[in-house]
Amino acid sequence: MFFASDNTSGVPVQILDALSRANGDFVAGYGNDPINLALRDRIRDLFDAPKAEVFLVATGSAANALAIASYCPPWGAVFCHELAHINVDECGAPEFFSNGAKIVPVPGAGAKLTPQALDQALMRAGKGGVHQVQPALVSLTNLTECGTRYTVDELRTLCATARAHGLPVHLDGARFTNALVTQGCSPAEYTWQAGVDVLSLGGTKNGLMGVEAVVMFDPAQAWEFQLRRKRGGHLLSKNRYLAAQMLAWLEGDLWLTLAAHANHMAAMLEDGLRQQKDAKVLFERGGNMLFVDLPRSSHRALHGAGAQYFLWPDHASLDGPPDMPVAGRLVTSWCTTKEQIEEFLEALGKI
Amino acid sequence: MFFASDNTSGVPVQILDALSRANGDFVAGYGNDPINLALRDRIRDLFDAPKAEVFLVATGSAANALAIASYCPPWGAVFCHELAHINVDECGAPEFFSNGAKIVPVPGAGAKLTPQALDQALMRAGKGGVHQVQPALVSLTNLTECGTRYTVDELRTLCATARAHGLPVHLDGARFTNALVTQGCSPAEYTWQAGVDVLSLGGTKNGLMGVEAVVMFDPAQAWEFQLRRKRGGHLLSKNRYLAAQMLAWLEGDLWLTLAAHANHMAAMLEDGLRQQKDAKVLFERGGNMLFVDLPRSSHRALHGAGAQYFLWPDHASLDGPPDMPVAGRLVTSWCTTKEQIEEFLEALGKI
Amino acid sequence: MFFASDNTSGVPVQILDALSRANGDFVAGYGNDPINLALRDRIRDLFDAPKAEVFLVATGSAANALAIASYCPPWGAVFCHELAHINVDECGAPEFFSNGAKIVPVPGAGAKLTPQALDQALMRAGKGGVHQVQPALVSLTNLTECGTRYTVDELRTLCATARAHGLPVHLDGARFTNALVTQGCSPAEYTWQAGVDVLSLGGTKNGLMGVEAVVMFDPAQAWEFQLRRKRGGHLLSKNRYLAAQMLAWLEGDLWLTLAAHANHMAAMLEDGLRQQKDAKVLFERGGNMLFVDLPRSSHRALHGAGAQYFLWPDHASLDGPPDMPVAGRLVTSWCTTKEQIEEFLEALGKI
Amino acid sequence: MFFASDNTSGVPVQILDALSRANGDFVAGYGNDPINLALRDRIRDLFDAPKAEVFLVATGSAANALAIASYCPPWGAVFCHELAHINVDECGAPEFFSNGAKIVPVPGAGAKLTPQALDQALMRAGKGGVHQVQPALVSLTNLTECGTRYTVDELRTLCATARAHGLPVHLDGARFTNALVTQGCSPAEYTWQAGVDVLSLGGTKNGLMGVEAVVMFDPAQAWEFQLRRKRGGHLLSKNRYLAAQMLAWLEGDLWLTLAAHANHMAAMLEDGLRQQKDAKVLFERGGNMLFVDLPRSSHRALHGAGAQYFLWPDHASLDGPPDMPVAGRLVTSWCTTKEQIEEFLEALGKI
């Protein structure tokens, strides 16, 4: 019963097979190999973006921070939701890579930005005044940190708001595929056609060993990005092993299948939880993450039964009155099984 | 005939097997898994260093830059050979991770520092004066950039020189194993017993997909290192896949076997080159790298025959008088074959 | 009628005289001169802090940012009020000098932190987790950005809260003297005895040309600070001209006299405003700053009559319904005259 | 007998008078005052550069580092002489302000770059390769660190070399006026007409308290510069006091008169030294700095007689054989007197 994170799971056999196939002879390093070329073309096709540039790194923090730094100068401000991963979970990676840019947290229910809140924050940002950091970038997350999902329309409006203030848009897509498969639109509609300039396309949380692609729909920043990637120690010499994984993942819709399964497991879990009278599901589920209020005593019992997951928010604690509800964060994965869901719900039902 | 770099090769089957074995169930992320624990213990054993801390990253530049930044403040100076990878081949990664430290290049034949040159550079460094960056760290490379090797005695004397100036020592060991197997000493003798404080232990160039370990013999900087690694985007969530590779590599002396093979192939190549009258081997070979002066016409013919390698130094060119010798850099790998060596020598012999 | 800021005023004649006296012969540069020595001793005496180190810079942003960087690593977090100058008015100087530390804004009425809000923010800060920036410093401002003032007791409790979390305390004292003279305590009681570790002692807003002292009550960070100051381009070679100004300012209580006058002018202005039925004074005045709600039409009339001051907050605007009140920020100075106050109140009275 | 540096002198009475005149009423802060406007126009006139932007800071290190950072990205390389102040005397300020750019030291006799050495360094710089920092800027110094001077032709050729590689040129003019008055050309000929893009125009070493102007002949980087200046803590609020000094300095050729006097004193000193048989003047004097080899015993006697100056280079020492010559660096100033020169030469003659 492992619901702590989708990054604690393994990888499907297709990925191991792809690594074997990629192995073998000498090939040029640093991404100048045929597999990387094929991957780039595959992503261009899938996103209907023939000029997009694609760069691989091994972590989501690297993808986000490098993308952000390529669009935001040291004296710039990045506007994002106050719960965004880049703001609270990357130990200041965006500040480090941008050399001290400021992340401006914007509030919003369910970790979603609203155009109103974003516009207000941008109006107050002090653009043009030498005493204030200068608005440089909007960063959205989809799925959000609360597991909610932006619709295509919502995304379009937010990007238009950013654009009205002259700002480009970054999309943190650590769980992009989980959002995409439920939203049921094309990758293009869900990114550049809605106004996204640069995407962190996450593979790790959806079945890869540690592969993330930065997709730059506008290649203007591509050379700067490459220098930043190298300088950041994120240009792997044996790059084929990253590309091979992601290429296999994109073949035959494997990426979609994996995400759809994780989402389906979350739906099952949600259904079960909604039937428990002490459980209160907190946000509108957008993919494979659930947040649920449970009495502290229930959390203790579930943990005792072997369920692994985090309380939410991070500083929440099981110390305190047993009846007092506290939220738990439950994340399903491409390899979560129906049996694990049933076991969890059963354990909860017994309490 | 691929002699461009040892990082263009694949990985041995044992590594693929190790990935398969590591796959499977959910495990805790970010290095808190049993494989990482086992790897740490294995390295502590091999290096006879029970308190050492071990941290994995995916590139050598990350290992070097994070290690350096953990020992060198922004206003510090790192002393290294002028040809050191950290000085010329990492696009300023050490400067980036240290937030602007200065690399002070020191000359020396065959890319080796001498105690005299190091001492002189340190004497001139302006320690204690507020107008100068402050000496903070010595960084050595073994094998060096010219393929030469430090003896244990040389290493010990250089570390003592650093220590006499109050400085710790970093060892860039991208090709540490290639040096070790020829030197024929223990890992401990070749590192902390000689005075090395922190080692970048390279796996990538000796048969891994992209795995480097930073081994901190003194754990005092370990927490800072971990924060820097996370902040640098270098903490892989599915860390087990890094650890599994390196653990398999260290099992049953695989790492030594692979490096010994590469060195043996380089020895064969060297023997053949020394019999060619137009070829002049440039440095004392320490492991799996060779530098050889050849007439430009020979280089052209070899390239024409399919040999892949770089000229040296980087700005060298085949433009110019055909008889004028230019250096080529030839690197062998764990999977270089006797046939490839023979083919190369044969092609050269025909010229 | 110049109430825009106390940094738009000139300097008293004593400061010009001090510059003349300091002029003349050759003296050692970079602060190694007798006037700097005398100033250091004078500050040690005044603050009853015989081991304090004193370093001069020419701007408040430099004083704050250098002090903060000396106590906060790149992966650290600085906790301050959300309106603090370091958070909103220094174009990211603390982020720049600390190489990317994070400023964590904490809310509080009248720009004052409460121990509760500070404690809550620190509890939630994720200390010890590698994914979060690590709490490193609390920065307080006195006078605050809303012109309010901490009492000695309030300061002591806030510092104790910081200390309970293991954090040192920085005090931004751009208007320290204005707070001090009204508070009526000793400089020591108002700083290190209350728990402040490092003080930005502002001279510029109280009658100097551009002189701020960083007073380190604990000299442990003094050498690092000096290197940071030099590296930041803030070590003036002809340092005597900074020291001479501040020494004259501290002689015969000139600093206190100047601040007391500014505060007195603000009191007069406040008295007058409180008698206007359309005016609403917003915060409890702590020194020489006033915030007052007035109808937009009144602001327009006052501006028309020649009064110079800013609306508050920065993004406030005179566009909109004339009756709708908007806040103005009125700052008095050491050289504000009774006539200027009367003229302003008269202009307002006529509306 | 104070020959340690021209930054240990005071300021002429005209500067004190200018401060008095600038004092008085409230004026807008941060450089938006009439004196700054007048200064900008005066510099535009003097340099025949109607579009130039002028920004003031209080130190030469700030001027250099901010100018460099505005033209050199973090992954950029700055090419300068190995003895340049930016390379050896600013505690890494350029690296700090540029966020880790690399300074590439180029050798050359008398601290002067030659077009050949510069071209060779640029040819080897690895432009276009992702593993190397990218050439971004050439920085020249005039007067050089050895007190030599570039002719207009030399400057023009060096700038053309930079331009041929696509690089802009920064001129560190801490002693620009000393070079200018001896060279006998116009400020325009000696800067932008020769190919200089941005000038650090030093006032401090030629009679000001701490005022340096960054003159951007091409204003394209002006807004970025202003944000960097603020963020660096180098935007003084009471900016008029900087501008007033420099404006007075530029009035009636005061700046030229002061520098000409300093140069004249150096010429006297040089004449005297050339008549001493044990003294060997080292470089061709370009202005107000002299380097002279003297026996250690002579240095000791001169120091004993009260002469103040530094040995050169920094790590030189008086320990050792008394007859062995060591270089001394002698700098004259706008206020050095004929009597001081005579006293020095007399003391030397007695040895």
Question: For A135-194, what is the HEC assignment?
Answer: EEEEEEECCCCCCCCCCHHHHHHHHHHHHHCCCCEEEEECCHHHHHHHHCCCCCCCCHHH
Q: What are phi and psi of B32, to 5 degrees?
A: -90, 50
Mean pLDDT of B90-99: 98
Report helix, strand or coil for B193: helix
For the domain that residue B194 is a member of, what is the CATH number? 3.40.640.10
Shared-domain flag, residues A226 and A312 = no
**Neighbors of chain A by Cβ distance (3+ pairs < 8 Å):** B, C, D
Query: Are B2 and A27 contacting, i.e. CB atoms less than 8 angstroms apart?
Result: no
Q: Which ranges of C232-295 does DSSP label H, i.e. alpha helix?
A: 240-250, 254-274
Q: Of C228, C253, C278, which marks where a domain is finished?
A: C253
- Strand duo B289-295 + B102-106: pairing: unpaired
Low-confidence residues of chain D: pLDDT under 70:
none
The answer to whether the CB atoms of C224 and B73 lie below 8 A apart is yes
CA distance C153 to chain D (A): 32
* D230:A131 CB<8 A: yes
**How confident is residue B25, by pLDDT bands cut at 50, 70 and 90?**
confident
Q: Distance from D61 to chain B by nearest Cα, in Å? A: 10
The reply to whether residue D89 touches residue B131, judged by beta carbons under 8 angstroms, is yes
Encode pLDDT of D53-78 as tens digits.
999 999 999 999 999 999 999 999 99
Is there a single domain that holds both residue A89 and residue A179? yes
Q: What is the pLDDT of residues C257-316, one digit of tens each?
A: 999 999 999 999 999 999 999 999 999 999 999 999 999 999 999 999 999 999 999 889
A75–D228: do the CB atoms touch at under 8 Å? yes
Q: Are residues B268 and B239 in the same domain?
A: no
- C87 in any annotated domain: yes
Task: Categorize the per-residue pLDDT at B164 as very low, low, confident or very high, splitting at 50, 70 and 90.
Answer: very high
Domain for residue C1, yes or no? Answer: no
Q: What sign has the CA pseudo-torsion B135, B137, B143, B145?
A: negative
In chain C, % of residues over pLDDT 70: 100
Which of A253, A276, A292 finishes a domain? A253
Judging contacts by C-beta atoms under 8 Å, the chain A residues touching residue B333 are 26
- Residue C306, domain member (yes or no): yes
Main-chain dihedrals φ then ψ at residue A78, nearest 5 degrees: -105, 125
Instruction: Answer whether residue B1 is part of any domain.
Output: no
Do B75 and B194 lie in one domain? The reply is: yes
Q: What confidence score (pLDDT) does residue B1 get? A: 85
Do D288 and D172 sit in the same domain of this protein?
Answer: no
- Going by C-alpha positions, the residue among C212, C214, C187 that lies closest to residue C202 is C212
Q: How many CB pairs under 8 A join C and D?
A: 155
Predicted confidence at residue A11, as pLDDT, reads 98
Q: Look at A75 and D226 and tell me if their CB atoms are within 8 Å.
A: no
Residue C1 pLDDT: 85
User: Cβ distance A304 to A349 under 8 Å?
Assistant: no
Distances A4 to A327, B100, B235, C50, D249 between C-alpha atoms, Å: 13, 38, 18, 54, 69
Co-location of C168 and C191 in the same domain: yes
Mean pLDDT throughout B112-123?
98
The answer to whether position B5 is within a domain reads no
Q: In chain C, how many domains are there?
A: 2
In terms of CA atoms, which chain D residue is nearest residue B124?
D315
CB-based contact A211:A58 (threshold 8 Å): yes
Q: Determine the distance from the C-alpha atom of residue A316 to the mean position of all C-alpha atoms in its chain, rounded to a whole number.
A: 23
> Which tokens hold the place of B100?
């602007």
Q: Does residue B7 fall inside a structural domain?
A: no
Nearest CA in chain C to B224: C75
Which pLDDT belongs to residue A174? 98
pTM over 0.95: yes
Q: Does residue A1 have a pLDDT over 90?
A: no
Contacts of B140 (CB under 8 A, 6+ apart): B80, B81, B113, B150, B155, B158, B169, B170, B171, B172, B196
CB contact under 8 A, C73 and B224: yes
Buried b / exposed e along B303-339 (16+ C-beta atoms within 10 A):
beeebebebbeeebeeeeeeeebbbbbbbbbbbbeee
Biggest alpha carbon–alpha carbon distance for chain A? 62
CB contacts, 8 Å: B68 with chain D: none
Residues 6+ apart with CB under 8 A from B281: B270, B273, B274, B290, B291, B292
Q: Which of A13, A15, A26, A336 to mutate to test the interface with B (most CBs of B within 10 A)?
A: A26
Could you tell me the two tokens for D216?
């951007």
Domain carrying residue D147: 12-253
Residue A220 φ/ψ, nearest 5 degrees: -60, -35
**Binary contact (B130, C73; C-beta < 8 A):** no
Q: Which of B89, B133, B315 sits opposite D124 (nearest CB)?
A: B315
Same domain, D95 and D82: yes
| A290 and A249 inside one domain | no
Structure tokens at D59: 């130190």
CB C169 within 8 A of CB C159: yes
Residue D301: per-residue pLDDT: 95
Residue ending a domain, among A253, A280, A312, is A253
> Chain D: which residues have CB within 8 Å of chain B?
74-75, 88-92, 95-96, 98-103, 123-124, 126, 129-133, 313-315
Spell out a b/e string for C227-257, using b for 16 or more CB atoms within 10 Å of the CB, else e: bbbbbbbbbbbbbbbbbbbbbbbbeeebbbb
A229 vs D contacts (CB less than 8 Å): 130
| Position C126 pLDDT exceeds 90 | no
Tokens of C250: 């501290």
Same domain as A43, residue A172? yes
Q: Which residue of C has its CA nearest to D226?
A: C91
Q: Which residue of B has its CA nearest to C236?
A: B131
Pick the range with the lowest mean pLDDT from B223-237, B309-323, D148-162: B309-323
Q: Is A245 contained in some domain?
A: yes
Average pLDDT on A37-43 reads: 98
From chain A, the residues in CB contact with D231 under 8 A are: 74-75
Same domain, C277 and C199: no
Residues of C in contact with B98 (CB under 8 A): none
Rounded-to-integer distance, Cα B78 and Cα B141, Å: 13
Mean pLDDT confidence for A259-273: 98
Shared domain for C246 and C304, answered yes or no, is no
Average pLDDT over residues B171-185: 97
**C1-56 confidence digits (pLDDT tens):** 899 999 999 999 999 999 999 998 899 999 999 999 999 999 999 999 999 999 99
Residues in CB range of A153: below 8 A, 6 or more apart: none
Residue A327's CATH number: 3.90.1150.10
Residues A52-71, mean pLDDT to the nearest whole number: 98
Determine the average pLDDT of the residues in A45-50. 98
Task: Tell me the pLDDT band of C133, cut-offs 50, 70 and 90.
Answer: very high
B59 plus B167 within the same structural domain: yes
**C-beta atoms of C130 and B228 within 8 A:** no
Q: What's the one-letter identity of residue B341?
A: I
Residue A1 lies in a domain: no
How close does chain B come to D92, measured CA to CA in Å? 6
Long-range pairs of C190-193 with CB within 8 A, sequence gap ≥ 24? C190/C142, C190/C152, C190/C155, C191/C47, C191/C215, C191/C217, C192/C47, C192/C49, C192/C52, C192/C217
Nearest by CB to residue C130, choosing from B73, B130, B235, is B235
Nearest CA in chain C to D98: C96
